[in-house]
Amino acid sequence: MVLTRKSWSSAQARRWRFVAIVILLLVASVAILELWATPPPLLTGPRALTVAALGWVHTHVLTVTVAGLLVSMAGLGMPLLLRKLERRDAFVQQHRTHERQVMLARVRHRWITGVLDPSLTDQVRIQIGMHRRPDAVRPPDMMIRRAGARTVAVPADMSISAIFNELGGGLLILGAPGSGKTTALLQLARDLIEDAEADQTQPIPVVFNLSSWAARRPALDDWLINELHTRYFVPRQIGARWLAGNELLPLFDGLDEIAPSDRNGCIEAINQFLRDHGLVRIVVCSRTHEYATLASVLQLEEAVELEPLTRQQVSDYLAASGAPLADVRAALAADPTLWDLLCSPLVLAIAAVAYQDRPANALRIAGTPGQRLALLFEAYTQRMFERRSGRYTFARTQHWLGWLAGSMWVRNESEFHLDRLQPDWLPSAALQRLAALSPAVSVGLVFGLVVALVLSVAEGLVWGLFFVLVFGLKKADYPEASWSWPRIRGALRAGLVVGLVLGLDDLRDGLDKGLAQGLFFGLVGGLLFAFRKTEPVEEVNWSWWRARVGLVVGLAGGLICGLTYGLTSPTVELAQGLLLGLSFGAAVGLIHGLVPGLVDKRTFPNEGIYRSARRALAIGLFFGLFFALPFWLYFGLTNALLAELFFGVAGGLLFGGLACLQHFAVRVLLTLRGFAPLRYISFLDDATERLLLRRAGGGYIFIHRLLLEYFAVCSARSGLGQLGRTDDWVLDVK
């Protein structure tokens, strides 16, 4: 190493500084020792206190050592803790960013890729005119409605997204049936998704259909959380967090699809939601006529109404199509009243598909607009079967779609999710009871037969009856609440059944104790299930914190139950009861450590049932294996195998298995009654290929609400539907 003059001088300076510091420390030490030996009067008091303190330290050396270690550990651990908290915050932020990206991809796949891109009206590339309707809304800063305000035409080159971007609040989109309201809403959703993907501060646009709100008329916050849960498979805790942080941009479609008696209440719920959330932005779609008849108005900033196509636009579109639509042009020239029918983008697209390269005979039949539209839909459906071959005939498809449309119309549903098929979709109360009871009866028979073969016929009857009564009395759906008296009553009822079964197992001295145990376990179960919420789990993460909390609560509850069972049972010792109770508590605690999340997977039809089946199988195996060990230690191999079967089946049924069996029972009964095919997904996909339905994520929708109403009315007129009247369908497209 070569030393320069400059580096040599700097090294000498460092050495001289070190020597000076050492000399200063020596001088200071000598001065301190001299002052300590002969202190002046000013330092006598501090010296005495210091001597006393050193004496206390010498006496309590262990305490001082432990305290010093604790302080040192705290000093060393605090930076590590802060660093860990920073990493945790970064992980939480990264996880939430991932959840946001998954939700955006899910909305895009469901509504843009699945509905907007292949839609018929989107294929009619005609610029639809709009005009502003200031009289239709009341901005939040205005006390009165702007009745009689002048409508203003929107520039032809201005899109619905440009109008929305001008606003700081909400937008109402009005229009006639088939005018393209939903298409405009989805075009806006597409642009908003792109904005949200590019800018993390933008809210997540999510499409909701208001038709299901009227079933219970809840607060809009609760309804939105439930819709995210049921339609998009978003865990409720994530949906509640998004809603509380104003991270969502709701796009509401189908206000007119709500029953007339509930529409004003829905508007009031939307207005209350806007007042509660302040700066949140929303969009609402409705038919013009249905909205105009309401007493309440939305407190939104702006409203626009989609205009019907002009005669020039219709003529240009038909002329551009050339010879294939020559007969449609001829029918239009012969009957000028057809202009009012074809001014709708939907009807024009339907006519273009139905009468391409064929005579437009149905358009020449005189009648009301509704009758003509019904004939047009019939011609369109027949043409779809001519253009595309499939495994289902026209008559079967019309029959099954008619029943489906009628059932959806009665329930104010716009989307059909196969995994939401419930026993109340069956036409009679007897069939509904059969669908609810048949899974429990089947499981009870199978389990009772196994027990009878292994132990005795009496034991098999008792435990088979247990499954039949407990799971036959269990209701699959309770109202969502933090405290639910129906759950308490259901658990107490199940507890009484358990007590009766345990008592029947030993009539001589077990009935009274069995009833006491049943009442106790029923009350404990009611307290537990009153606060239980089931989340749709797509991605299961492990949380040690939740597992520790669950283990503490589960082991405490298991200890109480085990003591009670061991002290009251004439055949079970106290140690055995404690082991069983603690095993059950540990199992519940470990399950509590699983936390739900979102994964980047596309939803598919009947996904909820498949997930429930996988979850039931996994939890059933876990419960069975978990309880097999203590039974094997205390009761032998045979009882251990029976316990594994019992707890495995019971756990699987409680955590999704019962829902799967009831779903299968409903499907079988619908097939036997001729309302639906057994291979429902195959049929729905076939109808989608024929452009009668659209896939929306894991659900299906008709290509337009008017087509749903057409099939529903046809079904009612044939005697299959559930409609009270067949003239409720007003096919007025003006």
pLDDT in tens, 176-208: 998 889 999 999 999 999 999 999 999 999 999
pLDDT given for residue 338 in this prediction: 87
Interatomic CA distance for residues 360 and 331, integer angstroms: 7
- pLDDT of amino acid 494: 55
What is the H or E stretch that residue 594 is in?
Answer: strand 594-595
* pLDDT band at residue 560 under the 50/70/90 scheme: low
Using pLDDT thresholds of 50, 70 and 90, give the confidence band for residue 568: low
CA dihedral 634, 638, 643, 645 (to 10 degrees): 160
Q: Which residue has the higher pLDDT, 530 or 25?
A: 25
Average pLDDT over residues 113-130: 74
Residues of the chain within CATH 3.40.50.300 domain(s) are 100-309
Residue 525 has pLDDT above 50, yes or no: no
Helix, strand, or coil here: 112? helix
Match domain 100-309 to its CATH number in 3.40.50.11540, 3.40.50.2300, 3.90.1150.10, 3.40.50.300: 3.40.50.300
Which of 236-245, 461-470, 644-653 has the highest average model confidence (pLDDT)? 236-245
CB-based contact 686:711 (threshold 8 Å): no
pLDDT at 542: 55
pLDDT, averaged across the chain: 76
Question: Which of 23-27, 101-105, 629-633 has maximum average pLDDT?
Answer: 101-105
Q: What does the pLDDT look like over 345-356, one tens digit per residue?
A: 989 989 988 888
Residue 263's DSSP bridge partners are: none
The predicted model gives 440-460 an average pLDDT of: 71
Question: pLDDT at residue 144 above 90?
Answer: no
pLDDT band per the 50, 70, 90 thresholds, residue 508: very low
- The DSSP secondary-structure symbol of 150 reads P
Band (pLDDT 50/70/90 cuts) for residue 668 is: very high
Q: Is the pLDDT of residue 56 over 80?
A: no
CA distance 642 to 450: 9
Alpha carbon distance 708, 406 (integer Å): 8
pLDDT at 249: 96
Give pLDDT, residue 527: 43
**pLDDT at 143 (0 to 100):** 43
Which pLDDT band, with edges at 50, 70 and 90, does 401 fall under? very high
Cβ–Cβ contacts within 10 Å for residue 83, how many?
10
Do residues 432 and 426 make contact, with C-beta atoms less than 8 angstroms apart? yes
More confident residue, 514 or 363: 363
Express as a percent the part of the chain with pLDDT over 90: 24
